[in-house]
Structures are given as C-alpha cells and as structure tokens.
C-alpha cells in the first residue's frame, strides 16, 4: 500500500486548486498547471487540503495513487516556492554566460556551446556556478541534465560540468615503471 498516497496535500494561500472531472487545475496568478489523472484515482478537496483516494485494490492502482499524489505535490511546491538546481563548472578556461535567452558555454571545444533557455525558466551564472530556477520540477531536472551532458565530469582531473552536490570519485593516473 502506498504510504505517499495516504498523505493529504495542504494547499498554501495564493495557490488555488479545483477539480474538473478527472483533472486537477492549480492556479497562482496567471500561472496555471493541469494534472490529468485519467480517472485512476479519486479526488477530493476539503479544508484547504487535496486528498487522493485509491482507485482500486490491484497493485497498479496503488502505484498510480502514490505517483499522482507526488506529481500533484510537486505542482503545489513549484507554484508556491519553485525549484532550483545548481551546476558547477570545473576546468581551466571553462566558463558560462547568459546572453539574452541563450546560455553560452565555453567547455574546451573549438566552438562555444549555446543552449536555448526555455520559456518559464531562469538561468543565472555567478563565477563557475549555473543556477536554474523554475516551477516545473521535471523540466528543471531535464535542463540541468542536458547542460551537464555537454561535458560530463571526468574521473582523472574532475574537469567538466557537475551538479553542485555531486561527488566525483577520482581515479589515480598512470604510474611509470621502475
């Protein structure tokens, strides 16, 4: 049985939630997010809390129950506080800069790498730290993964783009014969 699905989601002030059939519509100001559940879970809003109910007794229904609860909670957190990921650039001559709606990266290639910043996402660069902010957890994680993919950290010198909380396991280089 899902332990996540049992917990109600408290809806903070400023965020409105309403149920339209099998959809949950979350709004804050001009921002609107819709979560389609396809009737796989029961929905109920009471006392400023969103409660998801189990759709059936099979294992798949229990999995949907926890999944939709987590997705709805991520939407509420995204609209109220937002999500942030930080990337760190390590390497001689490696740098990043935001120019308009493009993140320009110098990562040791013969050309600069340009990454188009999607709408609704803010990217800021301070020294060698890239900060990605937005209200969609999945989108922020995907953008961070795509930027990291341009030059993943290598284990010998630690050069590349890594998450700020990631630890790179270093390897010893070659040793000479005696």
For residue 111, give its domain range: 83-163
Specify whether 19 is located in the same domain as 52: yes
Specify whether 91 is located in the same domain as 154: yes
Specify whether 69 is located in the same domain as 93: no
Give the tens place of pLDDT for each residue, 57-89. Answer: 899 999 999 999 999 999 999 999 999 999 999
Count: domains in the chain: 2
* Average pLDDT across the chain, whole number: 93
Q: Which tokens in the block code for residue 89?
A: 């650039």
Counting Cα atoms < 13 Å in the Cβ hemisphere of 130 gives 30
- Asked if the structure places residue 7 within a domain, the reply is yes
How many whole angstroms separate alpha carbon 9 and alpha carbon 174?
Answer: 54
Radius of gyration of the chain (CA): 21
Give the tens place of pLDDT for each residue, 17-26. Answer: 999 999 999 9
- Among the three residues 80, 104, 133, which one is the final residue of a domain in this structure? 80
């Amino acid at each position: 049985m899902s332990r996540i699905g049992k917990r109600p989601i408290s809806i903070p002030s400023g965020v409105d939630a309403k149920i339209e059939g099998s959809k949950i519509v979350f709004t804050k100001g001009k921002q609107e997010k819709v979560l389609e559940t396809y009737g796989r879970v029961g929905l109920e809003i009471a006392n400023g809390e969103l409660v998801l109910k189990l759709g059936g007794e099979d294992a798949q229904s229990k999995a949907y129950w926890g999944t939709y609860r987590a997705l709805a909670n991520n939407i509420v957190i995204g609209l109220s506080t937002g999500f942030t990921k930080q990337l760190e650039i390590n390497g001689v001559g490696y740098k990043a800069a935001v120019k308009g709606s493009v993140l320009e990266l110098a990562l040791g290639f013969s050309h600069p790498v340009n990454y188009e910043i999607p709408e609704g996402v803010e990217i800021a660069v301070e020294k060698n730290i890239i900060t990605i902010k937005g209200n969609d957890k999945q989108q922020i994680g995907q953008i961070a993964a795509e930027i990291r993919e341009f030059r993943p950290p290598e284990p010998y010198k630690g050069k590349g783009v890594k998450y700020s909380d990631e630890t790179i396991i270093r390897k010893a280089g070659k040793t000479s014969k005696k």
